[in-house]
């Protein structure tokens, strides 16, 4: 991939972070973006590249057991007050992803700068 193509692709992915941060997005949007970044890094730098490893080390995964435990505790607490709670109880995760997204922007920015200086 040519340098200018790589820069354009990484800039586009970096710009998508603003949309992910600004709006209440579902996890599938984040997963799609994450996979797009991984694909781009593999195409630009290679499967075993430090850039890909650095991105993979950003902690995007919210432990499922934590979510399940929190939902169960919340459901039990609410039901004690006589309020019926649906079986599917969504737990907002927006704030959790803000820090990893900021880290991703920093990494993408540094990769773009390095490509520009070539």
- The domain limits of the chain are 3-63+95-116
Helix axes 3-22, 98-116, angle to 10 degrees: 160
pTM of the model: 0.71
Q: Report CA 43 to chain centroid distance, whole Å.
A: 19
Q: Torsion angle of alpha carbons 19, 25, 29, 35, nearest 10°?
A: 70
Predicted pLDDT of residue 23: 62
**Which range, 27-31, 71-75, 84-88, 111-115, has the best average confidence (pLDDT)?**
111-115
Share of the chain above pLDDT 90, in %: 47
* 80-87: long-range contacts, CB 8 A cutoff, minimum separation 24: none
For residue 111, count other CB atoms closer than 10 A to its CB.
21
């Amino acid at each position: 991939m040519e340098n200018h193509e790589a820069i354009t692709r990484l800039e586009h992915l970096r710009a998508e972070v603003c949309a992910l941060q600004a709006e209440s997005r579902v996890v599938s949007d984040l997963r799609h973006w994450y996979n797009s970044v991984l694909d781009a890094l593999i195409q630009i730098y290679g499967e075993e590249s430090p850039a890909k490893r650095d991105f993979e080390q950003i902690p995007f995964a919210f432990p499922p057991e934590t979510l399940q435990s929190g939902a169960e505790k919340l459901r039990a607490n609410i039901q004690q007050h006589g309020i019926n709670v649906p079986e599917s109880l969504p737990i907002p995760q927006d704030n959790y992803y803000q820090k990893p997204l900021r880290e991703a922007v920093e990494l993408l920015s540094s990769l773009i700068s390095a490509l520009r200086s070539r």
